[in-house]
Amino acid sequence: MNRLARLVPAFLLVLPSLPVAAERIRAGLWEVTASVELPGVSSPSPTKQTECLSEEDVEADRVPEIAQGACRVTDVRRSGDRVTWKLDCGAVGKGEGEIVYRSPISYDGWMKLETGGTVVRTSIRAQRLRDC
């Protein structure tokens, strides 16, 4: 579980850097809420992060990334209002995720990471709050 405890925070770092799908969302201050489910453990409180997306960020249509380098995002696919990807965390485990754009001011999705026989599931909700 120690390895898992180190990986979950890195796993959550993907949230503010999910692809922004220029035709789908608007620039502004976004709040992303993530709820993590760990089997056999009481679920921690949802994590909230805010990020100001500029017009340049929206136009760049970034690919997910994990800042601490514990995992690598691969196989990013965009189809309509959906973006899916796979996570390769080497010997630690593998995972996948999906985001669905509901409107120019909201999206939701999920991520799943399988590691050491444990499946960590994260639900994601995001909403544009206002201009930056």
Structure tokens at 4: 């898992």
Q: CB within 8 A of 5, min separation 6: which ones?
A: none
Q: What is the pLDDT of residues 7-26, one digit of tens each?
A: 454 455 454 455 555 456 89
pLDDT for position 16: 45
Q: CB within 8 A of 76, min separation 6: which ones?
A: 19, 63, 64, 83, 84, 85
- What whole-number distance in Å separates Cα of residue 113 and Cα of residue 30? 24
**CATH architecture of the domain covering 2-130:** Beta Barrel (2.40)
The answer, yes or no, to whether residue 6 has pLDDT greater than 50, is no
Spell out the domain ranges in the chain: 2-130
pTM of the model: 0.75
Q: What is the pLDDT of residues 47-83, one digit of tens each?
A: 898 989 888 888 776 655 554 567 888 888 888 889 8
